[in-house]
Every structure is written in C-alpha cells, then in structure tokens.
Chains A and B, each alone.
Chain A
C-alpha cells in the first residue's frame, strides 16, 4: 500500500471525524430567560408566513412562546401578505400574517384548496408619514395633498414642496416608498390614491424599511411612509406628519391608532388561522398563547395594541375557534 493511498485515507477519515463532531455539538438551545412551564411539553412545527409588517409581532410571540415550550419549532416567513395567503390557501402554512383583510380572490382560492380559516385581529398599525426632523413646514397634510404628492400624475411634475402648497418653502421634494410588493405599499396607495398599486414611479423604492428611514432622516426635503414601529424606533431623527382626512389634523400615536381616529392610515393587523391545524396541539398551544398574552407580545414588539372592543372581539373569535 503506497504512502499516498494511506495519506488519502487519513485525510478522508479526519474530515469525516471533524464533520461528525461539528454536527454532534448542536442542540444547545438555551432559551432566553426562564419560563413558567404550566402545560405539558409540546413538540412539532408551526409554519407561519405572510406580511413583513406583522412579522416582528409574530416573531416576538414565537420568542415568548419558546420560553415555555422550547420543543416547538415556529418558523415565520416574510413572503408578503399576498404571498402568504397563496401558501395558506394551498394548505402549506398553519397561520398567515396579514396587514389587510383577505380579498375575494384569496377567499376563492382558499375554498378551492379546502382551507377553512378564522380571522383574528391582533394589533393596530399607524402607517406613519415621516419627514426630516428639520422640516418645519409640513406639520399637517391633508389627504388631498398627500394624493397630490403620490398619485401617478405627479410623476415628474410635483418635485418641490412649494408645489404642494404655495406657503411651503422652495425645497426639493424627495420621496421614499416601500417596495411594490409590500402590503404597506398596497394599503397606502389604496387609501390615499384610491387604487391599490396606483403610485408615481419616480420615488426611491426599497423593500427594506430601514433604508427608507435612513433616506428620510438624511434628506432635508424627504418624505416617506412606513409602519409605526419603524418611526418609533427612529423618533429622534424623524418627524411624523399629522394627517387631516376632513376632521382635523391627527398625529399617529398609540391612541389615535387604537381608537381609529388616525384616518385613513390606521390599519388593523391580522393573523389568519387554518381551522384544520387546530388539531395539532402545538399550533393550538401557540395560537392560545398568542391570543391570551397579546398585550405582553404587543408591548415586546413595540406595536400598537388593540383597544377594548377589539380585544373582546378577539377573545370571542378565539373561543369560537377553540371549540370548533
């Protein structure tokens, strides 16, 4: 046996050993913080997908749930509200995150896929219109003004703040928008421009809300829109614009979003649960946790909580789902 063959076998053996050793040293799942283990330990997977706006909330729920039930593997995807429904109605996911209600086409798809669902509203969101912190003139904008800024006809034409309102200074208008396949974009364009997807195309688009925040906070004439939690996180660098939909200027805040006064940009956030998945104990356990601990979860994720009416509606819906 020549030396080279021996050497080759030695290499192979060493590589195999290292590989196995690495694969073996896994499973040190130290959950963050101890928890109260009341229920019997559950195991299995919960598949969740959908809106990237709702995702931080559901992920926070998954984190908290993991403290009490470390054996359940919860995955939270971000294919978007529409993409999430598509998978949901094919039966591929147990829960779908959504930043808008399910539409008719999706309802039909779910019927075809034989998926019965229950809608649960879990939080509110105040879609915030933000400007640079030194922007002193755009304290309040009407819906009509917002439409003037964002509608397709504005493309190439409305490029300066003084075109929006003659009292505004001569400052170039720089726009920042979520990407075209995000639920936030869909919601804003529907609420302001009247039709989902209707928007001028010469803004700076990004899938990454972080980029939008950075863009607005570094451009004096910048204006962008994104979820409330992104604004809250960056309050020191941004100013929120108050929106006037006919009943006066309303600023986005926990209260105005909860009460629904922040029109038309206060929106409900949902999860849709597949009824058939409730037979899986880990899914049932997770949804129960989500619903009963919703206040704590919303606080942890810095979302806008439900008001009292919405909370009782949620509990009622959950009771119906639980017993079905």
Chain B
C-alpha cells in the first residue's frame, strides 16, 4: 500500500495532513517558475544594459555612418564610427578558424565514430571532452608567445607577419574549436542506429561509402549544430583575439598577416581603459555589443531552424 503518512480521521475533520503534500506542491510550483524566470530576467537585463547606452550612441552618431564608414576610431581627435573594420576582422578570423576546425573536427569525428575500435574510442572520447574545456586565455598565450614567432621564423613568406595578426589568432581559435566540433559531431554520428549501417553493408558498400553516404547525411543535423556552435564560439571569443589579434581598426583589413581588432577585442580594450562613462566613446562599446548580440541571436535562430529541418527521427 502507500507509504505516505496520510491518516484520514473523519471525526476530527483535520485535513491538513492530507492536504499538506498538495500545499507543498503548490508552493514548489511557484518556486520553480520563479527559478525559470531568472533566465528570462537575464535576457531582459542584457537587452536593457545594451540598448539604453546604444540608443544614446545612435542619438549622436548617424546609423548610416555606423554601417558604412570604413574606419573605426572613436577616440582619436577626428573620430570615426564605422563598424565595418571590426566586422571584417571578426568574420575573417572566424573563417580562418573554420578552415582549420571543420576538416580536423569532422575528420576526427568520423574516425572516432566509424573507424576507431571500441577500446580506442573509450580512451579518446573523454580526452576530446577534456580538451574542449581548456580556458581560452591559454590559447591566447600560446598564440602570442609560441605560434607567432614559430610561423614568422620558420615559414618562408611570413616575414611580413606582424607580431599580432589575424592568422595566428584564427589558427589558435580553430584549434580551440576542434574538440567542440569533433565531440558533438561524434555524438550525432554515434546516435545513428546501427541498422542503417548494417543495411548498407548488406548491399555491399565499403566502409568509406557507409561513413560518407549513410552516416554523415543521417547525422547532418547534429553536425550542422556542432559547426554553428563552433561559429558562435569563434565570434564571441574575446581572450584569444585580445592577446593575439591586435587592436588596429582604421581600415577594413583583409590581409591575415596583419593585426586587426574584432568586435570583442574592441569592447575588452575600452572596458579596461580610461573612458569616462556617458561619453560617445563609452557608449560605442554598447553599440558594438548590440551588433554582437544580434549576430549570435540570428545564428542561433538559424541553427535551430536548420536542425529542425534536417533532424532524422528514428524509431
């Protein structure tokens, strides 16, 4: 029978013991909703914290100018307020990172999911997850102190490599994202039921064909989600670009051997510094922050839509 402590005593009319669990339930429900609202409050807070000063900023700076001026230099005597250089640097470093991370990440994932023996996978998968947790300041340090001199001294043609440059920041960022992409893609591929593979083998396909034409297409929603997550991390990454990417923003820089400031590097640099609160320079951080937030929001919505579109539902 039941193990609860309910005793029904019709004579006494005392229903508290019977009703207490229900009271508790009601209170708990309120508590749970309150906890959930914290996440909503966070988003509201972010929007308020960003939008208020950003509105002040756009009150003084023409929005068209913000979008089209080719130089970003709010603190010079003749200031410029075009976000294009920051955007170009952000996109370029992200691209370099993806060029490295997608092949290495996907390749590792396919290897782990389809080719590695069970024992190997049991050892390597946890190592992969461990590597995904390395703090980004470590990558920044490595990029600046090891990668940059290494490339400059040993690769011919890189003599023009500036001390802080987008290439090294992008490479470090790519290496940082590899474990994330590999881990999530491997999870997605491992989730593909064996029956699909077995069916393909039964039809005399090779392992490579099974991997590339059966498993990867079946896992594509997870793989896409992994890549989009990697992109989000790259766009939002601050420490690597602050330490290794440089602070130049006077023109859109397309040469990866030169340094350039990304949106996040700019925010970090000014927030550490000397700018009086309430001025246009200070509010420029928030204008850039709004663009950053909007960008990741759009990316995230896009990813959800894509995942939903491609998701295969197995029995």
Contact = CB atoms under 8 A, between A and B. Distances in A.
Interface string A149-169: 000100100000000000000
A202 B250 contact: yes
Contacts of A203: 248
Contact of B77 (A79, A80, A152): A152
Contact of A83 (B77, B250, B275): B275
Interface residues of B, number: 28
Interface in B127-166: 144, 152, 162-164
A217 to B, nearest CB: 9
Interface residues of A, number: 34
A15 B141 CA distance: 32
Interface string B268-283: 0110111111000100
Given A197-B77, A201-B73, A201-B250, A183 B162 contact: no
26 contacts: A79-B274, A80-B273, A80-B274, A80-B275, A81-B274, A82-B275, A83-B273, A83-B274, A84-B274, A152-B78, A181-B273, A181-B274, A182-B274, A196-B77, A197-B76, A199-B77, A201-B80, A202-B251, A204-B162, A204-B163, A205-B246, A206-B246, A207-B269, A207-B272, A215-B163, A215-B164
Contact of A204 (B71, B73, B80, B246): B246
Contacts of B152: 218
Contact of A179 (B164, B273, B277): B273
B75 A181 contact: yes
A79 B274 CA distance: 5
A255 B71 CA distance: 42
Contacts of A81: 274
A204 B277 contact: no
Interface in A155-200: 155, 179-183, 189, 195-199
Given A204-B164, A206-B164, A215-B163, A86 B73 contact: no
Interface of A: 78-84, 86, 152, 155, 179-183, 189, 195-199, 201-208, 211, 214-215, 218-219
Contacts of A219: 163
A112 to B, nearest CB: 13
A192 B174 CA distance: 42
A215 B162 contact: yes
A219 B246 CA distance: 16
